[in-house]
Every structure is written in structure tokens, then in C-alpha cells.
Structure 1
Amino acid sequence: MDWWMMLLPFAAVVLDLLLGDPRSLPHPVQAVGKIADFVEKRFRAFGATKRNGSLALCIVILVTGGVVGAGVSLPFLGAVLSLYFAYSGLALGSLLKEGDSALSAVQYGTIEEARQAVGMLVSRDTSDMNRDDLYRSLAESISENSNDGFVAPFFYLALGGPVLLWVYKAVSTLDSMWGYKNERWANFGYAAARLDDVFAYLPARLSAFFMLVAARLMLIPTAFDMRGTWNRTTEDAKLMDSPNAGWPMAMAAWIVSRRMGGITKYDGVAVNKPLLGPVTGTWDADDIRLLLKLVRISCVLGAWVLWLLALWIQAAIW
């Protein structure tokens, strides 16, 4: 079983790239969401305070980690469940597939088809976007989700197996459900948002680093000055409200030499997001194709590095 657990991250990446999301099977994220809804209703009844939100967060984490831990500990079936939990926690395959599908809709479909396709991938309002806006939104989503959907969960899979992976996924799911800065969630979702910032802190910076190394291997001219590109990414990432989201986005913007950020609508409200990357330059279909290739190579490269590092650490401990 020890050897199987050592090979598990590699096997999970292969399945993720080959199969994408297991849509024919119940996805664990859906279960985490239902648990979160159940727990939130019970604790919110005592007040939407930071304390109650923190307690609810702890309960969801403990239940998620406990269920996954119990499953992977089962004799014989545990190996199968370990692979399923590891594979279903990664989303690079689906990100690349859905990104390519949305790109085709923006490039060749009607504007309404394009808006609908991109709207499936982003949380912003796409109803009145033109094609330039859709390309930019698609680029932002692909680059940010390269970390959220793959590098960060793989980091925790390599570090602590399926249990730690799904502890991270539980925190990430709660942040997406509770981590809003509005009256309903500002206090109750505070702990979930802050803990997600902590969990994603190192992976976000690693995702930017792997992207830069991949761009250098791909001989993309902007990556030849690796130190300069890293420094520009660092400065841009600081402009974002999130301490983590800006890292893969800014790196992608500087590597492809296209701007991200600007006026973006959420639920009909226009938000002026910080500008990342060069001050000029709009995204087009060729740029998105380059970004998809960059994300694929950087994530696979990062997975290899993290997996080998985890194996080295395990060998040193033994």
C-alpha cells in the first residue's frame, strides 16, 4: 500500500488528463457543498458571527477529512477510493477541455453563444460583453484556475495524500460559497476566506513560478528575462484584493504580453479591477491557444517537480 500511495499522485494526474471530471459519478465537491449547506443553516440560527462561521468551518473540515480518511483506510476498497478521491480532486483535464470549447464558441459562434460558453466558466456577468471582453475573461479564468483547480490541490495531494487534498478542497469550496464581502457573509464567511488565503498562499506562487519555467522551455521571448518577468508579476500581484489570485494571472499576462483586469461586471455592478500585465494589448484566439498550452505544460511540469520532491522527502524520513 505504501508503494501505491507513492504512485497515487502520478496515477491521479494521468486519469485527470485522460478523463477530465468524472461526470458519470457523484463528485465529492457536491457532497461537501451539501454538508456545508446543512452545517451553515444550523450555526447561522445562532447568529451570523465570525465565531459561528469558524465553528461551522471546522465541522465541515472534520467531516470531510473524516469521511475521506475512513474511506481510504478500508481494506482492498481503500486503494480504489484513494485513486478516486485523488483523481476527482484535480481539474486540469476539464479546465483545458472546457477552455478550448469556450474558445471555439468565442471565435466561431454567435456573440450569444460565446457569452453563454464563457459564462459557464466565470462568475462575472457576460451578458453584454464583446468578443475582446470574452477573450480577456477566458484568459483570466484559465490562468487563475490553473492554480485553484490543479496546482494547489496537487500540492496537498503530494504533501498529505487524499485526506489533505480534500481538506484543502473543503476550505476552497467554503470560500467559494461563504467568502463574499457582503452583509450576509462578511462575518460568517470570514474564517473560510482567510483560511483559503493561507492554504493557497504557497501554491499560487508556485503556479506562477512553474508557468515562468514552462514559458522559458517553450522559448516564449518574454520569459527570456526570467528575473524581470518575475519582478513585474510580483508587483502586479500586489494590486489584487486577493493575496493569491493575482500570481498566476499576472504571470500569464506578462508572458503572453496581454492585459488583464479593467472594468468587469458582477451581478450587474461594474467593478474596476486592477490592471495586470502590459498597459496595452488585447487577447485573441491565438493568445488563448498559447495560454492553454502554457497552462498544460506548466501544470504537468509542476506536478512532476512536486511529486518527485514528495518522494524525496518520504525517502529521507524513512
Structure 2
Amino acid sequence: MLKWTALALVLGFFIDLLVGDPRWLYHPVRIIGKGISFLEAHFRRWFPKTQKGERIGGFLLVIFICAGSAAIPLAILYVAYKIHTLLGIGIETFFCYQMLAVKSLKQESMRVFEELEKGDLKGARYAVSMIVGRDTQSLDEVGVTKAAVETVAENTSDGIIAPLFYMAIGGPVLMFFYKGVNTMDSMVGYKNEKYLNFGRYAAKLDDILNYIPARISAWLMIAGAKLCGFDSKNAVKIFKRDRYNHASPNSAQTEAVMAGALDIQLAGNAYYFGKLCEKPTIGDAIRPVEKEDIPRANQLLYVSAALGTGIFAVIRLGIQGLITLL
């Protein structure tokens, strides 16, 4: 079933660039999200509202979602390849395409830019609220721009490079497994009173699975910065200095490169659910943040994603060649 994964990876990437995520097409992540919500509601009812009870419920959530996220695409691919190789390749390509978010990430962030271009700060706040978890209603133009640039940087890893990495290693099954964990983290991985215990295992597993991809993403973005004509030397400098300026061991890896490449300062304090979260800054304010940094961030996103696709396709071919020899 992994014989054609390199081809499916490349085809899936190009389909994503062309099509993106049309709203009429029901996305698998939405199915995973509904499963998470369903199981969370039941586990919270079944287990006591104590630290131990919530952690047991959260642990079972991880087990069920990980198993389901991997087993369902595995079964579909197995049947498809049994019917015909071309059907299997088609399904594998479709799965890869659906797990990537290059065009949709660009489109959503560029909506923020378009609202800022029109001078509609309220519209820009709403647009950026669709792609970030922080409170946006009081952000000024600089704050809105920074939020959009930061989410492009972070999701270059979470939404593109990490899925490609796991696709190269274990095909769509491992790719879906990763997306199941990543979706859990985005829904229950908060360090607040509600999810501190229940989301503990999902958040930890997400940190583990993103550890290597986040660092690969950072170096791909540094190479991309060079190709785009951005400040690649400063990108390396800020990456080495500020890559751990975040509560997550992974999120600041790509944000640091983005800040350095664009010669701007990102991160800093932000409000989440009405509460101030004090966070260190990332990068140096060599120049002021401006709305044009959003399309610049997307340029770096596209180049980094293309580099990653090529490299991971070659890696997959190498793995397949090694398996064949053995």
C-alpha cells in the first residue's frame, strides 16, 4: 500500500495548491472534531470531575481518536488497493490532499490583508478571529497583522510540513493519525481550568509528534527565506535565539524564523478568553510591522511547502527502495 505514496504525496500537494478546501466538501478533520466532541461529552459524564477522573477521560479520548483516525483510512485504502491499484492511488492522493492546508491557509490569512487594505479594521478582526485562538476584538492594525503572520508561521509546520513528514514515513494512515492528535490538541489542549487535566495527554502527545517536524519546518523556512530574498541570516539568528520563547516547545520554532526573515517582532502578550497571557516577544523590531507582511509570510509559506514536498517525496522513494532491497 505504500508503494505509490511518493506519487500520491506530490499529486496531493499540487491538488491542494489548485483546489484548496472548498466549503462544499466535508473535511475529514470535521469528522474527527465531531468524534472528539462526542467522546469528550460522554467521558466527562462517565468519570468524576476530579484530577484523576479527568485525566482518565482524557487518556481514553486519545486512545479512541488515535485508533479511529488511523483505522478508518487504513481500511478504506486496503479495500481500494484490493479492487485496483489506480483506485488505491486515487484514494491515497485524495487523502493527502485533504490533510494539507497550503491554499486554505493563504486564503484565510489574505482575507485579513484584504480587510486591512480596505481600511476595515472590524472586518480584519473578524477575519483573523477565524484562524487564531486569541481574543481579537481589541486588536489594532499591527496586532491583527501580527496574529495573521504568526498563524501562517505556526501552521506552516502543523498544517503542511508535519503532515507531509508523516505521509513520507507511513503514508496516509500515519498522516491521519497525526491529524487526529493535532485536532485533539487544538480542541482540548488548553492550559485552563476546563482542560488542564482532561487535555493533558492530547497536548503532550501533540508536542512529541511535532518535535521533529517543527524543527524541519524551521530549516525549510530558512532555506525558503534565502530563495525569497528575505533576511535569511537574521532568520537563523532569531531562530537560534528565540525558538523557545513560547509555552510550547514547538510553536516558536517557525515563528522565530518568520520574525527573523521579515525583520519584525512577533508574539508578546495576548488575551485568551478574556484573560491576559504574558508571553515573551520573538524577533527584533528592526522595522515596524505592516499589513504587507501577511503576503510576505504567505510567500515564505509556499516556497517552504514546495521544498518540503520535494524533499519528503525523495525520502519516501528512498524508504521504498530500501524496503524493496530488504
1:202-228 C-alpha deviation (Å, 9 max, x unpaired)? 1111111001011112332x21x3xx6
**In angstroms, what is the RMSD of aligned CA positions?**
1.7
Match of 1:235 among 235, 241, 255: 241
Please identify, of 16-25 and 199-208, the stretch whose mean Cα deviation from structure 2 is larger.
16-25
The answer on 1:141 being equivalent to 2:176 is no
The answer on 1:245 being equivalent to 2:251 is yes
- The share of aligned pairs that are identical, in percent, is 35
Question: Which residue of structure 2 lines up, in the alignment, with residue 306 of structure 1?
Answer: 312
Question: Which residue of structure 2 lines up, in the alignment, with residue 193 of structure 1?
Answer: 203
The answer on 1:29 being equivalent to 2:29 is yes
Partners of 2:6 and 2:142 lie apart in 1 by 44
One-letter amino acid matched to 2:130: M
1:161-310 matches, cutoff 5 A: 161-220=171-230, 222-223=231-232, 225=233, 229-279=235-285, 281-310=287-316
One-letter amino acid matched to 2:129: G
1:88-167 matches, cutoff 5 A: 88-167=98-177
1:304 shift after superposition: 0.8
1:231 shift after superposition: 4.5
User: Counterpart of 1:125 in 2: which secondary structure?
Assistant: coil
Unaligned runs of 5+ in 1: none
> Is the alpha carbon distance of 1:239 and 1:6 closer, same or farther for their aligned partners in structure 2, counting shifts above 3 Å?
closer
Aligned residues: 314
Partners of 1:52 and 1:133 lie apart in 2 by 37
1:3 shift after superposition: 4.9
Question: Which residue of structure 1 lines up, in the alignment, with residue 7 of structure 2?
Answer: 7
TM-score normalized by the length of structure 1: 0.93
Partners of 2:286 and 2:276 lie apart in 1 by 21
The answer on 1:54 being equivalent to 2:54 is no
1:131 shift after superposition: 0.8
Unaligned runs of 5+ in 2: none
One-letter amino acid matched to 1:182: N
Match of 2:70 among 65, 72, 78: 65
User: Counterpart of 2:160 in 1: which secondary structure?
Assistant: helix
Partners of 2:264 and 2:225 lie apart in 1 by 15
1:206-257 C-alpha deviation (Å, 9 max, x unpaired)? 111001011112332x21x3xx643431321212110000011010001100
> Is the alpha carbon distance of 1:239 and 1:188 closer, same or farther for their aligned partners in structure 2, counting shifts above 3 Å?
same
TM-score normalized by the length of structure 2: 0.91
Partners of 2:2 and 2:57 lie apart in 1 by 39
Question: Which residue of structure 2 lines up, in the alignment, with residue 18 of structure 1?
Answer: 18
Contact kept in structure 1, 2:6 and 2:314, CA below 8 Å:
no
1:45-69 C-alpha deviation (Å, 9 max, x unpaired)? 2234323311221111111211111
1:197 shift after superposition: 0.2
